[in-house]
Structure formats: C-alpha cells, structure tokens
Amino acid sequence: MKNLTRVDVRQGPSDEELIGRIRGEYLEMPGLRLTRPQARRLWGLDEHTSDRLLSMLVERKFLTCAPDGAFVRLTDGTFPARAFRMARAEVETDLAAQKRRELLRRSS
C-alpha cells in the first residue's frame, strides 16, 4: 500500500475577509462606481459570490445601487436632483436703521 500523505485543502477567503477587501477598495478610491461585471473582474469573483457580497454591503448600508446599476458608497452619493434654494435675508444698512429709529422716535 502506498504511503498516503495528508494534503491541506485551503478554502478561499471568508465572506467577511472579502467584504473587508471590497470596503477597502471603496474607501481608498472615493467616487468608485462599479457595475456588477466590473466588480466581478476587479475582485476576481464568480457571479454568485460577487452578487452576494454586493447585496450584503447594500444591506449594511455601506453601498447603494445607483439608478444606472453602478454600486457606489452610500456616503459618496450625489445630492438630490432638486436644487437648493438660497434663504432670503433682509439686510438693513446702518443708514436705513438710523432712519427707522428716527421715525420711531418721532412717532412716539
């Protein structure tokens, strides 16, 4: 009989290790936008694993899926399409304030 040697079978990285790596990529490159196929190629993952990890990161509110299908960091998102309105403030000049006080004094 042959002498059998034990072969170590290494498993790939755990989901948490892969999530840490993906988070690192997004943190190192602000504004990173990846579609599902781009993410698979970048991280060298199969479709099932990549989709599962992206879903986990969306559930954890680290990533969001933009309307165009790209995955972006939730905090890197753009502002709403509605434009901000400037607040209106009335500024009273010193001269206008002085005239107003004079009028109030005279009417009293």
Cα 59 to Cα 20, 28, 55, 65, 88: the distances in Å are: 15, 21, 6, 11, 40
Domain count, the chain: 1
User: Which CATH number do you get for residue 68?
Assistant: 1.10.10.10
69 in a domain, yes or no? yes
Map residue 10 onto helix, strand or coil. Answer: coil
pTM over 0.85: no
Splitting the chain (108 residues) into consecutive groups of 10 residues, what average pLDDT does each group show? 57 88 93 95 95 95 93 71 58 72 81
Check residue 50 and give its pLDDT.
Answer: 95
Question: 3-state DSSP helix/strand/coil percent for the chain, to nearest 5?
Answer: 50, 5, 45
Domain range spanning residue 40?
15-76
